[in-house]
Amino acid sequence: QSVLTQPPSVSAAPGQKVTISCSGSSSNIEKNYVSWYQQLPGTAPKVLIYENTERPSGIPDRFSGSKSGTSATLGITGLQTGDEATYYCGTWDNTLRAGVFGGGTTLTVL
């Protein structure tokens, strides 16, 4: 059972938009920045979003992040088949004094 809750899967057609939610609590998301990671099969995770909304250089603006209260959201527009991957949210938990990840959301581009 993950501290952060994500939907197990989402799907959408190529070119469409999808959002992935990440629900936490006052001890983690509400008080700390959230990062989002993309993991393609058999590879290490890659950061897409940091500090809730910021994109590292090289990450296309099709990827966006937002945060409100105890929840965060990853948005992906203009879906491509290459976006098929598992996406994770992550942050620090002040009560646990530990890093925490969501359980991961598998994106299928139909």
Q: Which is nearer to another protein, 19 or 39 (CB)?
A: 39
Asked if 38 touches another protein (CB under 8 A), the answer is: no
Using the rule CB under 8 A, which residue among 14, 15, 56, 78 binds another protein?
56
Using the rule CB under 8 A, which residue among 20, 22, 85, 100 binds another protein?
100
Using the rule CB under 8 A, which residue among 50, 63, 75, 84 binds another protein?
50
Q: Spell out the SS3 assignment of the chain.
A: CCCEECCCEEEECCCCCEEEEEECCCCCHHHCCCEEEEECCCCCCEEEEECCCECCCCCCCCEEEEEECCEEEEEECCCCHHHCEEEEEEEEECCCCEEEEECCEEEEEC
Give the binding site for another protein (CB under 8 A).
2, 32-35, 37, 39, 43-47, 50-52, 56, 86, 88, 90-92, 96-104
